[in-house]
Structure 1
Amino acid sequence: MPIEDVDRIAAETGFSGVVSIDRAGEVEFAKAYGLANRTYQVPNTLDTRFGIASGSKGFTALVVHSLIRDGVLKLSTTARSLLGDDLPLIADDVTVEHLLTHTSGIGDYLDEEGDLQSNDYLVGAVHELTTTEAFLPLLDGIPTKFKAGERFGYCNGGFVVLALLAERAGGAGYHELVRERVLRPAGMTRTDFLRADELPADAAVGYLDGMDRSNVFHLPVLATGDGGIHTTAADMSTFWRALFAGDIVTDVDEIVRARVDVPSESMRYALGFWRHETTDEVILIGGDAGVSFKSTHDRHTSTTRTVLSNTAPGAWPIARAIM
């Protein structure tokens, strides 16, 4: 689409963020809009790092796949075999594959099938959530919603459980597993887990919808398996190229193969990645208080389209237009 159309939509919606389109590593369009920090009037730039909420579920999935490659996990591994006595309401037949495809049926600490609003306070004592183990009290005591494998039911808690299983199988903390098994092999030098209460100068502050108030009390202070890493548009392009080059894991086709139809979203779901309803595009999406993100990759044309925003509604109008 013409650059003028992106500019027009950005102006009409007050877009704050970055838009990027590249083909085979050649940038066709890249532009930053709005402010990374409204208090100090710091503008967003192409190098600004944005939280991507559930966009990093794909990174969690790749950590799990790398552990499967190493022989310490299988898709058929049950969660119970590594949870022991923790989270007793998770059914004994729930497997890694169920968790990766959102078909586990386990109860969710952050249930998106409910009537959630982007500005709601949902998590509680967010300052305590600095490790995956710290999420156990949040995940505990939530009844099963349906039998494993019965249907698709988007589950944030399932990816926290995956992070916990990865830690226990991989012998390292989740954050280090992502760095060692995804970020470094991919060459993503501008992507990392940033504490919400001490963001560096190059990171965008997330703002609540219709307010100049930050999202610092709305999200875990440090992201874990269900999302929240910070990245740039350029690093997302680097990620997609590395993924399909086999630099992170080798069985990419199996990972991105659609496993479940999700008619309510007009998409399909693979193992940690969304798939377009009819085309071969692979998609990562994230949305939260002060965060919206979408990145798509067409492996046949090597085209990546990424929109990052530091507001909850910001990314969607432009994403719809360019994708």
Structure 2
Amino acid sequence: MTTNDKVQQALESVVAEYGIPGIVAEVEDGDRTWFGTAGVADLRTGAPRQAGEYFHAGSSGKAFTAAVLLSLEAEGRLNLDDPVNAHLPGVLDVNGYDGDKITIRHLLSNTSGLFATGLAPEISYRYATRSGFDEHRFDTFTTEELLRVAVSQPPVGAPGERFEYANGGFYIAGAIIEKVTGNGYAEEVERRVARPLGLTRTRVRPTADSGYPDPHPRGYSHQFLKDGADPATLTPENWQSLMEEPGLPPLDVTELNSSLGYAAGNVVSTTSDMIRFLKAMITGSLLPPAQHRQMWTTVSTEGSYWMPHTRYGLGLFEFDEQATGGRTLRGVGGSFWGTWFFAVGTPDGRHTIAVHTNTEWKAWDPMFKIIEAEFGVTIGG
């Protein structure tokens, strides 16, 4: 069985096993290229997934934010070890946070001590249930609102103490970009990342936009709490036990306002463009050597509720070599309502795979199964 056959088999397996409506995978491995699909792009019409589809790349946008800030550092306009108060005085000086101690590096490595932003009542009460989501799916968040949400709950640790995945840190990072440059976040991503890399089908979604260019899959979600569950009781430990029962039909969430993502993840792209982006991040073709080294100076994610067997850099991740049998694999990814994307590649950038599902993250096993099929590794085993 060829590698392509193994990956195709893995795609079909995860669609059947995890209730994923549709999935695509694009591979570049030296001279070998391959594109595979399973499932459908539209549950109503049965239309298949296809190459070139646009999708929301979720928290992959964090890597774009990190790349912009590293570019600004290379120009001498800031330093990653600057405290937040050097650029946004007072924004972090509430609820037990200290803007003189939390640095830009802490924000980008998820080691700031900020709480898990998605658990903020301002977010969970709007989107935690199907009825709430439908009522609020077109709500627009301003940067000021997002900055308030980022610090609306007390710290979970001291700056630099441990890894805790927090979108709020990237909201603050995006605001620093805008303060330092005087330009909008989307404009700086276009100027410093998308245009230099030739990412012609990639952009930060405009605040007022709630759809996608064609072609695109429909997005479907089961990411809701059971009826009667109180979002105020959500914690990183118990949220899975409060989710709605399996077997319910998914909610079509294709059209929604994603301004909640902001600099933590609001990039719309394609598998081809994201492969090009990941290659540049892995090989250092976009950033100077000093900044590239910083991007891949990683911290352990052990003990967190994020992806197992990984270390986190600045907006990207690297699999722990002990979990891959000594192979180094680096990646980027993220989930949002109705979408889950990840891309993984080797350190030379010659072998990469990009995968998208038109539903949000359900478990890590589908990702590991596909990576194992493509790279011949057994993650964690």
TM-score with structure 2 setting the length:
0.74
Total equivalences in the alignment: 317
Alignment equivalent of 2:113, drawn from 81, 105, 120: 105
Deviations along 1:82-140, one digit per CA (max 9) or x if unpaired, are 2223343231200011111111102343149xxx9xx8359995644355344233224
Where does residue 9 of structure 1 map in the other structure? 13
More off after superposition, 194-203 vs 182-191:
194-203
Which amino acid is 1:75 matched to?
L
Which amino acid is 1:205 matched to?
R
**Structure 2 Cα separation of the partners of residues 148 and 284 of structure 1:** 24
Instruction: Mark the runs of 5 or more structure 1 residues left unpaired by the alignment.
Output: none
**Structure 2 Cα separation of the partners of residues 108 and 219 of structure 1:** 21
For the 8 Å contact 1:129–1:135, the answer to whether it is kept is no
**Structure 2 Cα separation of the partners of residues 28 and 156 of structure 1:** 34
Alignment equivalent of 1:18, drawn from 24, 30, 33: 24
Where does residue 159 of structure 1 map in the other structure? 170
Q: Offset at 1:192? A: 1.6
Q: 1:38 to 1:65 in 2, by over 3 A?
A: same
Where does residue 55 of structure 2 map in the other structure? 50
Following superposition, which runs of at least 4 residues in structure 1 exceed 6 angstroms of deviation?
none
How well do the aligned residues superpose, as a CA RMSD in angstroms? 2.9
Q: 1:33 to 1:315 in 2, by over 3 A?
A: farther
Which amino acid is 1:84 matched to?
P
Where does residue 216 of structure 2 map in the other structure? 203
Where does residue 172 of structure 1 map in the other structure? 183
More off after superposition, 123-132 vs 8-17:
123-132
Question: Is residue 2:133 matched to residue 1:95?
Answer: no
SS of equivalent to 1:110: helix
Within 5 A, what are the aligned runs for 1:1-323? 1-3=3-5, 4-6=8-10, 8-9=12-13, 12-13=16-17, 15=20, 16-24=22-30, 26-39=31-44, 41-89=46-94, 90-91=97-98, 92-111=100-119, 120-121=128-129, 127-129=138-140, 131-194=142-205, 197-209=210-222, 211-215=249-253, 220-221=258-259, 223-244=261-282, 246-251=284-289, 253-264=292-303, 265-278=308-321, 279-300=327-348, 302-313=350-361, 318-323=366-371
For the 8 Å contact 1:95–1:104, the answer to whether it is kept is yes
More off after superposition, 80-89 vs 275-284:
80-89
More off after superposition, 288-297 vs 96-105:
288-297
Q: 1:12 to 1:125 in 2, by over 3 A?
A: closer
Q: Offset at 1:221? A: 4.0
**Structure 1 Cα separation of the partners of residues 159 and 363 of structure 2:** 33
Q: Offset at 1:17? A: 2.5
Deviations along 1:236-282, one digit per CA (max 9) or x if unpaired, are 12113333454421226413434311224211111221111013221
Deviations along 1:210-239, one digit per CA (max 9) or x if unpaired, are 534223687634641111312111111211
**Structure 1 Cα separation of the partners of residues 260 and 111 of structure 2:** 26
**Structure 1 Cα separation of the partners of residues 172 and 272 of structure 2:** 30
**Structure 2 Cα separation of the partners of residues 6 and 174 of structure 1:** 37
**Structure 2 Cα separation of the partners of residues 11 and 77 of structure 1:** 45
Q: 1:220 to 1:236 in 2, by over 3 A?
A: closer
TM-score with structure 1 setting the length:
0.86
More off after superposition, 237-246 vs 311-320:
311-320
Which amino acid is 1:202 matched to?
P
Which amino acid is 2:344 matched to?
T
Which amino acid is 1:248 matched to?
L
**Structure 2 Cα separation of the partners of residues 314 and 143 of structure 1:** 28
For the 8 Å contact 2:27–2:33, the answer to whether it is kept is yes
Which amino acid is 2:90 matched to?
D
**Structure 2 Cα separation of the partners of residues 11 and 213 of structure 1:** 17
